[in-house]
Amino acid sequence: MEILEKLTAAFGVSGRENEINQLITDLVKDYVDEVVTDGIDNVIAIKKGYGEEKKRIMISVHKDEIGFMVMNIDSDGFINLRPIGGIPVSLSIGNRIIFRNGTVGVLSFKKDVENIKNNNVGDMFADIGAKNKEDALKYIKPGDVGSYYGPLCMLKNDRVVAKALDNRIGCYVAIKALTENTKPYNDIYYVFTSQEELGLKGAIVASRVVKPEIAVAVDVTSSFDTPVTKEGNAVLGGGTAIKIMDRSVICDESLIHIMQDICKTEDIAYQSDILAAGGTDAGAIYTSNEGVRTGGLSIPMRYVHGPVGVVDMNDVKACIALLKSFVNQKI
């Protein structure tokens, strides 16, 4: 859990990803043949395979998190914010924000929250305890970036809560699969992509660089097992979710079958991930170059894009087991 705790704690709002880049590089560099960071801040860890008929496989996991940018500071020292990525206002109010320099504040909203779903994210502000604008400017300036503040904690039944589980839990899966699989059959490019929350930008660039023959995007998916959301496929504790489709992609059927067969043979708990909305790096990769056979693995998560999320570590372990086996297949 120490690795996951470090991953979720690291700052890495889209486009401001230096801290999470360095952490991931430090965690994987001794287990791969090469680690490079490209011009858009993708971290690419390359592990060569031994197979005679090996394929070039790209495992894509985005490392950026949603957050906020400071637009301006009013005369009373309150900090006006704009979203970086999709921010659910109703889940954010009253929670804490931490800026990259370590300054902590409280998120609030300028309007009556009774009809919050119709309110503008641009009406959010942060209170850092400043006395006035001059005081606030000692700590924060326009253009600074902040993220939710929510340290990792254990819940009951092997479930964890933390900020940035979307998608640091996917990073954790890739890192565990990478470090535990010393001799893969295929050439594996573990790509920790940037700016997914701004439109899959890192994956667009990385797929052009890597030119994969096969790709798998690992990300979270909504868990349909709360009082708010019950009409869907994936639930906490149901195993790793094999993506069938979302708004951005219909996954390669042959890869779906390979993943399902691995789970049946190796007794790995799995379920299906079928969404009418949302999207992952898979949506950018499968149409890249001359087209790429692309699949997806998902970890069900409650409160997606909220200040904190909840995942089941048994689902995470199942995802790691499936990914480790998949990259060793003769595909």
- Is CATH 2.40.30.40 the right assignment for the domain spanning 68-148? yes
Torsion of CA 72, 77, 81, 87, to 10 degrees: 180
**2-65+163-326 and 68-148 have identical folds:** no
pLDDT of amino acid 111: 74
pLDDT at residue 119, rounded to an integer: 58
2-65+163-326 in CATH: which number?
A: 3.40.630.10
331 residues of the chain, pLDDT tens digit each: 899 999 999 999 999 999 999 999 999 999 999 999 999 999 999 999 999 999 999 999 999 999 999 999 999 999 999 999 998 888 888 999 999 999 999 999 887 666 666 556 778 999 999 999 999 999 999 999 999 998 999 999 999 999 999 999 999 999 999 999 988 999 999 999 999 999 999 999 999 999 999 999 999 999 998 887 767 789 999 999 999 999 999 999 999 999 999 999 999 999 999 998 889 999 999 999 999 999 999 999 999 998 999 999 999 999 999 999 999 999 8
Q: Classify residue 162 as left (phi > 0), alpha (psi -120 to 50) or beta.
A: beta
Nearest one of 132, 8, 142 to 65, comparing CA atoms: 8
pTM: 0.95
DSSP conformation class of 2: H
Show Cβ contacts of residue 134 under 8 Å, excluding neighbours closer than 6 positions: none
Beta strands in the chain (DSSP E): 34-37, 43-47, 56-62, 67-73, 79-84, 96-99, 104-109, 124-127, 145-148, 153-154, 159-162, 187-193, 214-222, 240-246, 249-250, 270-274, 293-301, 309-312
Select which of 17, 65, 196, 197 is catalytic.
Answer: 196
Annotated active-site residue 196? The verdict is yes
Q: What is the pLDDT of residue 118?
A: 54
Residue in the block written with tokens 């993220």: 147
Q: What is the pLDDT of residue 114?
A: 65
CA 268 to each of CA 121, 172, 263, 294, 319: distance values in angstroms, whole numbers, following the listed order:
41, 18, 4, 21, 8
pLDDT at 277: 86
Residue boundaries of the structural domains of the chain: 2-65+163-326, 68-148
